[in-house]
Structure 1
Amino acid sequence: MKLLNFMIPITMMALVLVDCKGDHTNNEDDGNTGPPTVVVVERPDMAIELGEAIALYQNYGANRVGLIESFEEELGDVDNYQATRSLTFNFKELRQYMDYVEQEAKTAGTDILGLRVYLGQYDTKNSPHPNAETVFFNPTMKKGDNEVAFAIQNQNGNPTAVPVGVLQDYYLKTGKIKTPGKANLVFIQDDITSLAGNHGGRRPPPPHEDDDYNDEGNN
């Protein structure tokens, strides 16, 4: 009887071990080379419907483009000026940019809150798109109660996240950056790692037969 009482729990433990050994639901545990688990990405809140996107594009064409082109014609710097309607960034390069920004922020011990999109304009010199509108990116971080764009500054050998406004003020006061309106903004990059991103492919208004957003219906 004592032997039976001893064997019963031993037998139960053996059954449990055999059952666990035969049940492999984790491919990493047993070296199973089956198909990887598919990760479903949920639709983000920033995703919008096609109708809203069409309205945004056509509203800009109807209410902003004419004003921009009329102003440029009055300046007379560029003949037959066409306002920028879109910018295309290479998808893989954009991913690389995001990875690079995250990497540099980590070196400074900084968490990225967002990616801010700024509106900008090229000048009339040293630019393939004289006077053209553009956008550029910059990651943001938390500073007090605010969310600010930042760059990485080498401070005594330590990478430090610094608000771009602080660096801009420094450049303007010391003359290490030309004042806005001159040919180009010249940065002294010795101790600064800029995290700004640009150089998208500019596109003027597509023709109606183009298979893209266009102003058909507004003309």
Structure 2
Amino acid sequence: MKRPSILIGKFLCAIIISASISCNEQPKEQDPKKPEKPVVLAPQEIVPISQAKNMYDSYEKRRVPLIQRYEDSINKVTKNDKEFHVGRFVYYDYKTIKQYLEYIEQEVADAGVEISTLRLYYSNYPDEEFFPKTKDSIKHPRQNSIMLSPTYNDGKRDYLFYIAQGAKGKEAVPMNNSFEPIKVEYGHNNDTNTKAYASFVPTTNPTKAAPAILQGEESLTLNRGTGVPPPKNQ
């Protein structure tokens, strides 16, 4: 039987030889065609699943019954025997969202402004065909929905806006929080690099035309998502 001291000696030699070989190995060069992918940290606004479940259940308890009773009462008055389903979520195809973000970034770059926030508005379709003569005609009137709309900041507050064609190219036309055009005095925006329009006609009357220096109305507000319930594609 070999002595323990001999076995320990051989074990230590093996470790020394292995370490020596490792030290002599050259580090593998990184493939320049495959740069390291940066790590994206999770936003602080992400909530735990348990909290998401709690908020979902709270809506189920405190909002769904109110909406259901209200819509059922309308059905009784109008003698509409069609059952109303309270919507619980709205979704968009992921590629649509990516296209939307790329599109609004492209348009605001042309207008010389920066997006400060992306608002998600609660909305509700009327009890009628909302997009007539198109493939997007609302098949489930009175359903809740959401609208996505970007804002820009003039140094004091965030503004909803749309894009119009001005004398020097695309310009951002500000609106208030209710999607109504507003008046912004000349010099109100201190950023000399921005092309945010600074003197829109001071009216909330949609029949009154905008000044001649601006043409067209390019909306940046996204809607027409799919609500559930009713069931998908019905």
- TM-score w.r.t. the length of structure 1 is 0.68
Higher percent of residues as helix: 1
Alpha-carbon shift at residue 69 of structure 1 (Å): 1.1
Structure 1 stretch 82-91 or stretch 167-176: which is displaced more? Answer: 167-176
**Residue 52 (structure 2) pairs with residue 53 (structure 1):** yes
8 Å CA contact 1:152, 1:161 repeated in 2: yes
Match of 2:153 in 1: 142
Alpha-carbon shift at residue 129 of structure 1 (Å): 1.9
**Residue 200 (structure 2) pairs with residue 197 (structure 1):** no
Unaligned runs of 5+ in 2: 1-26, 130-137, 182-200, 210-214
- TM-score w.r.t. the length of structure 2 is 0.64
Unaligned runs of 5+ in 1: 1-22, 178-189, 207-219
Match of 1:124 in 2: 127
Match of 2:176 in 1: 165
Alpha-carbon shift at residue 204 of structure 1 (Å): 1.6
**Residue 103 (structure 2) pairs with residue 100 (structure 1):** yes
**CA pair 123-205 structure 1, distance change in 2 beyond 3 A:** closer
Alpha-carbon shift at residue 149 of structure 1 (Å): 1.5
| 1:155-177 deviations in Å (ceiling 9; x for gaps) | 22521112233972468514269
- The runs of at least 4 consecutive aligned structure 1 residues that moved more than 3 Å come to 23-27, 169-172
Alpha-carbon shift at residue 24 of structure 1 (Å): 10
CA distance in 2, matches of 1:176, 1:201: 34
**Alpha carbon RMSD of aligned pairs, Å?**
2.9
| 1:60-79 deviations in Å (ceiling 9; x for gaps) | 01100110111111122663
- Percent identity of equivalent pairs: 27
| 1:91-130 deviations in Å (ceiling 9; x for gaps) | 1110110010111010011011110000111112112220
